[in-house]
Amino acid sequence: MEVFILFIAIVLGFILLNTIRVIKQYERGVVLTFGRFWGIKSPGLRLLIPGVQTMVRIDLRTVVMDVPSQDVILRDNVSARVNAVLYFRVVDPEKAYLQVQNYYEATNQLAQTTLRSVLGQHELDDVLSERDKLNADIQKILDVQTDAWGIKVGIVEIKHIDIDESMIRAIAKQAEAERERRAKVIHAEGELQASAKLAEAANVLSGSQGGITLRYLQTLNSISEENATTIVFPIDLIERFATAISSVKGN
């Protein structure tokens, strides 16, 4: 009798274990009845029919996936090694379980091929300077392709772009040449503005003999402060001084 009671207790315990399921807040339960989709169970204490129904838990939290480093040949035939990080989550548990065997592995493989495909269409300068645009392009492609699996790809970030040392030196030389070019352009623009101002000043002074004389006297004052031993006076200035002195004596 005791053995029978123990047997009944074990059977009841087994039935309860296969009947009661606790689904956490961030999970959903995909329930199959005789292998056929029955429905989605929400969080809480849920009951199943033993031997008839089975349930698979699907995690709805955001998954952080490291995309392994990929060897990429860029459009300008530069070889690079690129890796990225991907953020995605399940938005449709039914599709995530029924439409793909392993949604995590499938998303990982798709991310690798998409990363190589998108970067291979761009040159090295674009990859280095337009990373935000490339991230958005990869995210858009992945989001469209994983929609059939009930996956929502939120963020894609390219982390590292590794290139050969020779290419790094070439980029450094290119950056240095670009800085020198900008410096020369800025210097030329400054010379152009200065010459324009000098031409404007010359036009103003040419219309006033008194102005020219005053400017020359200012220059003489500057020369005298530098302890110069030789001062050159233009002939027209001497003639104006002589005329002014003669007029004073005549008065």
Note the pLDDT tens digit of each residue in 56-94: 999 999 999 999 988 888 888 888 889 999 999 999 999
Report how far residue 178's alpha carbon sits from residue 76's, in angstroms, rounded to the nearest whole number. Answer: 20
Q: Which residues fall within 8 angstroms of residue 141, CB to CB, at 6 or more apart?
A: 114, 118
pLDDT of the residue at 73: 87
Give a three-class secondary structure readout of 56-81: EEEECCCEEEEEEEEEEECCCCCEEE
Report the predicted TM-score, pTM, of the whole model to 2 decimal places. 0.64
Spatial separation of the C-alpha atoms in residues 236 and 242, rounded to whole Å: 10
Using CA atoms, how far residue 68 sits from 108, 119, 232, in Å, is 9, 15, 79
Q: Is 86:113 a contact under the CB 8 Å cutoff?
A: no
User: Which amino acid is residue 96, in one-letter code?
Assistant: A
Helix ranges (DSSP H) in the chain: 2-19, 93-98, 103-119, 124-129, 131-145, 165-206, 209-225, 235-250
Residues 6+ apart with CB under 8 A from 249: none
Q: Dump pLDDT digits (tens) for 180-217.
A: 777 778 878 887 787 777 677 666 656 555 555 556 65
How far is Cα 217 from Cα 237, in angstroms, rounded to an integer? Answer: 10
